[in-house]
Amino acid sequence: MRKYFIALLVILFLVFTAGCTSNSDSRTNETITLTQNGVSFDYPGTWVVATSKANDTIASVADPRSVNTATGFAETVVTIQRINRTGTFNSMYDQNYATLFNNSSYQRVSESNITMGNVQARENVYTVDDNGILKQQRAIWIEDSNQIYVILCSALINQFERERQNFDLIVNSFKIIN
């Protein structure tokens, strides 16, 4: 009987110790839904709504742990832009990237046609040297009526793959609300 009592105490001690020493963030698996300016998407519970310096931004979220102390801006960020369509979807997309890749700071990694739900979209992944800071960006272009929505996922090159799950959460939950 005494052996069982000691074994029970050891097990209880281990359970309590494990619970008290966990260093996991309780918000790691939580998500938050952002609905604003005609779009909605889920984002990681550890991220925050951000202010973007990019043109045509209608929503932006960022990982506050990625803030560059020199600039004050987050390096891991997802920005949603809405652009009025002034030509065909494909011509605007092609012209944008022809101009972008004419600048030697930008290098294409991949380009593809993708499907988001039942909507066709175009995806462009590239690297950029942003004043000596090397980033990888994933831009997804979606057409809706006379609007083009761009989901721009950005992180430092050495962090991009680690952030893929967070980027996918946002991209896969993205909805245009009309």
pLDDT at 3: 41
Q: In this structure, which amino acid lies at residue 41?
A: F
Average pLDDT over residues 47-65: 94
Residue among 168, 159, 162, 161 nearest 68 (CA): 159
Residue 34: pLDDT band by 50, 70, 90 thresholds? very high
pLDDT at 21: 36
Residue 18: pLDDT band by 50, 70, 90 thresholds? very low
**Is the pLDDT higher at 128 or at 72?**
128
pLDDT at 17: 30
Yes or no: say if 124 and 97 are a contact pair by the CB < 8 Å rule.
yes
Q: Which one-letter DSSP state was computed for residue 158? A: T
Average pLDDT over residues 20-25: 38
What are the residues whose beta carbons fall under 8 Å from the beta carbon of 133, sequence distance 6 or more? 68, 75, 156
Which CATH number does 27-176 carry?
3.40.1000.10
Give the number of other CB atoms < 10 A from CB of residue 77. Answer: 22
pLDDT at 53: 80
Spans of all domains in the chain: 27-176
Q: How far is CA 61 from the centre of its chain?
A: 8
pLDDT at 4: 36
pLDDT at 117: 83
Residue 28: pLDDT band by 50, 70, 90 thresholds? low
Give the number of other CB atoms < 10 A from CB of residue 112. Answer: 10
Dist CA 15 CA 32 (whole Å): 31
Average pLDDT over residues 142-171: 97
Dist CA 168 CA 86 (whole Å): 29
Residue 1: pLDDT band by 50, 70, 90 thresholds? very low
pLDDT at 171: 97
Dist CA 160 CA 178 (whole Å): 32
pLDDT tens digits for range 59-113 = 999 999 999 998 889 999 999 999 999 999 999 999 999 999 999 899 999 999 9
Q: Is the pLDDT of residue 132 over 60?
A: yes
Per-residue tokens: 45: 């519970």
